[in-house]
Structure 1
Amino acid sequence: MRVIKRIKWAGWVALILFSAVTLGAIYHLVSPEIEASSGTNQITEKEEKRQDFSEDASLNVRTETKETNTYTMSISMPTLKSKSLDTPIKEWIEQQKSVFIEEVERNNAVLSADNLAYLTIDLKVETAGELYSLLFTSYQYVGKGQPTQVFKTFTVNMRTGESVQLHDIIHLNDQTSGTIRTLIKDQLMGREEWKDYVREDVLNEKLSDLDDLKWSVNKQALDIFFDQYEVAAGSVGGIEMKIPLEALRSYLNPTLLNNAQLEHMTSIEKSQLDPNGKYIALTFDDGPSPKVTPRILQTLKQHGAKATFFMLGKQVETYPQIAAQVANDGHEIANHSYGHPKLTKMTSQEMIKEMSEANTKIEMATGIEPVLFRPPYGAYNSDVVHYAKMNDYSMILWSVDSLDWKSRNSAAINDIVTNNVTNGSIVLMHDIHASTAEALPELLVKLKAEGYQFVTVSELLMLQNENGAGPHFGHVS
């Protein structure tokens, strides 16, 4: 006798729903393993903040990240209105990705969760007048051997949308070309970490046509890049060097640079300061602050005083209008890092990221790319000095510490500064403490009565015939 009973319609519905839920649960439990074994890729994308460079052109940057069980990718991808640049950039990125994937497939047997391949393409944007240079740095590791570093540069006139070559900004006659070749060779052969590894015959060949160089331009320098292994042993890594625009001044195309660069280079030279005068550089760290910085700006304006503001990138990001007001009032803008870490505790890459991020935020808010920086806490070592040299920064410390951060007392601030200042001093203060804003009016009156004038750090360094990376401290009493 059969005991199987006929199931009614409602029962079938319940059975089907139960089976679907059960199968779904089983699928979700095993699907990660199925994905891992089949190499399914997880792709995520995020849009970064849009940067508008002019009324006619903009740069939209997004970062594409991709993770699998054998490799990771992180690629910064710009989209330009300039099709003459947008297309070759996309083609180069796709070529980098294609070569990387081929190598990953070839080395699949040695790749694992403990030995992941990676491709990282970073983007840095530099400006000079109407020119915008895009520097891509590709870091690649394919599971064996050493990671490699490759550069690619593109420069565009953002007003016209046209791609720009080196001969467009520099008159490349025989004399100019010879000067640039000499400057490049002197740097490569003069640096301790490079000179014994450079293959001079290969370098000479690379320099035969300067238009083939990888380069970018900013307000201070023409930057030259060589890939890892391109002109030196692989242990050197990628090579980045800077040629100050001052060294190329007579060869530059002022029309293309819209004269902005030449004016920047000569602005300090035109200063009519009496070399026999008494000068002090007032400096303010850690701002801008919405409550304190405007008060300090008002006091400085009332006394006709100029100062140098060492800004934090995160503060500028939060209060860009105040940062812009500091610049509009004619004060000097300088870099104090993004988040105020001790640079001596960071790796070189961490330090570069920290300072570059601050520079980007400051330039976006003020339109000024800083050439001075002050390491947080005044802490520096050989790595920090090397960073300053490589990036054409002047590292600024101080000779008089107002201790406003400690006393938070206006009378104490005035006593310390007036008792320790001398001609040529660099005075450390902070535009984040209300007591500093309270102390400043009386301090300026006292110092002016003693014959002091208030200048920017750059003006003071020029008067003292000091240049280069430093560190620069100013004079003590």
Structure 2
Amino acid sequence: MMKRLPFKRIKWPGWVVLILLGLFIVIGIGKWVGDSSAKEVDKENTIEFEQVTDETERYTILVTKPIIDNRSLGKTIEAWIEKQKETFLSEVESEKDQLGSGSRAHLTIQADAKLGAKDTTSLIFNANHLVHTGSSENHVKVFTVDANHNRLKISDLLTSYGKTLENVRATLEKQLKQNDQYNKELIDQRLSELLSAPDSWNWLAHEGSLIFYMEKSNLTENGEGPIEIKLPLEEENTAATAEREPPLLKPGEKYVALTFDDGPNPNVTPQVLKILKQHQAKATFFMLGSQVEKNPSLAAQVASAGHEIGNHTDHHMNLTKLGESRIQKEFQSSIQKIQDATGETPTLIRPPYGAINSEVEEVASRNGASLILWSVDSLDWKSKNVDAINQVVNKEVVSGSIILLHDVHPTTADALPRLLTTLEEEGYHFLTVSQLLAMQDHYSAGTYYGNT
């Protein structure tokens, strides 16, 4: 929201001075954004720019934008520029009685191109809105592209470093909340929404680091301007690897893998996440693509909490009654929806009803995925009773068990606190399925049930 100050007419030559001031501000921010974050674009990767101006009695608009062949990227950039114009012109309209006759508002959009790591180029836009004397707004937008000027998702780059979005989210949240400058002003809901939408992040890669630019207005009530956060990729990669590795267990210690099917569910999954956090337990959530599509931010929240996400197909159909092409579609459609929501690519598949045949196994193998069944069925889907769920699991669990639960039944969430406490008292550690497989040296595609 733009600050409201008593308006003073900006007359010639004052408006010329203000244009120059705006340019200096934009150029200064451009240098700030580019400082230690990227190199000058070399001759082989040069991107040319053009300037477009629009001048009326009430305002001036100066836009510098890149000339690129990629139509899709061009449309995306143009849409962002148009949004800046619309916002600016809306403010101009609200002050139309104060503008004109030598008093003008000014919008300056400056663009720059910087080379980054992994043959990436970042197009950095700085927009300065000046409608009131002594009050302006600055906005930063970054589009990172590959050598062919195709826009990159941050998950594309993380994959090349062996990283996951969940680690990046956790680190961003930690740095923001530990920063004394603005941690008290952060609005948790806005932070959660921002972290769950990685495609909206402004980022670039440079010499083993990821650099993020977040606007204070998206995180606080009154803040303006960008926040810069730098994440060392090498250190983060080490941390990510450590988190994926199973904990070191002493001889005689016991472990189980908790798994939750059919979600994410907006009523139950948040309760399950809260209880798991209280017990410092990690689990594997086998999600339906159709549910992820309905609840993408919740799926992202599960990933951000450090839990593993598996594929439970798109529509929970009995795969043994489908042909290979439809089985493949059920797998791939769900994978795509999970990727779009979380940036994660699931490599574990749990077939609905545990139904498998040679065709299901063949399609899973072609996709390099492991079929994960279970050794302990809590029957929560059947009993929907807290005591019954606890009795079944406690009776059948052994070290190495894969426990089947569902994060769609409220009674499952109600049963979870006692279940986890009892298992902890019996000496069990909670692993993700991938950690369990790593312990058992199972990394290849196959079918796994856990110990019985």
TM-score normalised to the size of structure 1?
Answer: 0.47
Q: In terms of Rg, which structure is larger?
A: 1
TM-score normalised to the size of structure 2?
Answer: 0.50
